[in-house]
Every structure is written in structure tokens, then in C-alpha cells.
Amino acid sequence: MQDLISTIDYLPDSEDSWTFIWGNANYSSKKVYDMAFTTLQVPRTFSILWKSQCTPRVKVFAWLMLVDRLNTRVMLRRRKFNIQSGVACVLCATGSEEDINHLFFSCPFAVRCWQKLQFIWDLTLDIHARILQARGASQITFFVEIFLIAAWEIWKLRNAVIFNGIRPTFYLWTVRFRDQVQLQLLRFNHDRDILVRAWLSSF
């Protein structure tokens, strides 16, 4: 350090001043956050999710699904919970482990739900690319809202099977899905409300 200082011809008498990398001495948590994450590539699905017109509860559920933090049976096993009934999916009889991919996309029960909605998933893609691809191929402008509500009702039915011992039926999911769409319509803007009601009448 002394050798480096000796090479400096002029040292001011004033005290040192400290500045942040953004060019001033004013601390800002926003600027620290921006600096830390400015190069981070965030999947576009998150932006689409938060801009949807569903309730915050459904959006948070979907966010947990997208980041693989939903408490599926596989996730509970990963977190060292003792799952006495095992980790098999409760909505089908295939014996497959209940993870995000199976429960919402490849489970025969979920597949039937998506077929009713005419949603086709490319299971070779990761969940973000899968949603974007299906959204691009869909003819409905409110694809995201319908996807979120349908997945939310699959999750709620799964919970009802585990905690209330009900028998999962496609009819029950259909009724709950229709009711949930009607509830969510309260948050939709006028134009989207009209489109969704027209779509739901032919569902």
C-alpha cells in the first residue's frame, strides 16, 4: 500500500469521501436491488402472471407453482416431512409421484381438465416455455386467467381429497371451475368480462 501511495504525486488535505457505485453518497435500497439483479434474466411468465386480473391469492399460488415451492408431496418429502400415505398422486391411480409437473400437466385427471379447456401442453418444454407456447397457440385473449383458475381448482380439489376425504370427479372440478371463474370476473375489466362470459356460456 505504501508503495502505491508513493507513486501518487498529490494527496489532498481534505478527508476521504465515499460514494456508491451509482455516483453519489445517498443510499437507496432500490438502487442496490437494481444493481444486484440488473443482469438477471427473469422468465416472461412472471410478468404475465402479475399482470393477470385474477385475485392476489391465485397469483401467489401460481408464483409458488412456477418457482417449484408449492407443497406437493414430493416437496414435502424434500423438506423431510413424514408423509405416512406416501408421495403418490391422489387424483389418479397411476402411482406417479406428486410433483408440479405431474399434478398439473401429466396426471390423467389434469389432462382431462385441460382437454375440456382445449389447452395443449408440450411436456418436453420447461414450465415457463410450456406456458408461453400454449398461450401463443391459444385463440383466447384471457388464456392466462383461465389457466390460473383451472390450476388453482386442481390444487384445491387435490387438497380436498387429502384433508376432507372427498372423491375427486371431473364433474366436481368442472362445477368448481365455473364457480371460480364467476368469482374472478368481479376483478376483470369490462371488455374482458364480456369475452369471458361469452366463452363460459359455451363451456
**51 and 17 belong to one structural domain:** no
Average confidence (pLDDT) per 10 residues, the chain, 203 residues: 76 74 81 81 93 97 97 95 91 96 98 96 97 95 97 98 96 97 94 93 85
**11 and 89 belong to one structural domain:** no
Q: What are phi and psi of 38, to 5 degrees?
A: -65, -30
Sign for the CA dihedral angle at 195, 61, 49, 150 comes to negative
**59 and 159 belong to one structural domain:** yes
pTM of the entire predicted model: 0.83
pLDDT at residue 10, as a whole number: 66
**94 and 56 belong to one structural domain:** yes
**25 and 108 belong to one structural domain:** no
Task: Count up the domains in the chain and report the number.
Answer: 2
Domain carrying residue 186: 44-201
**12 and 75 belong to one structural domain:** no
**124 and 54 belong to one structural domain:** yes
Question: What is the C-alpha to C-alpha distance for residues 98 and 90, in angstroms, rounded to an integer?
Answer: 8
pLDDT at residue 6, as a whole number: 76
CA angle 179, 58, 101 (to 5 degrees): 100
**33 and 70 belong to one structural domain:** no
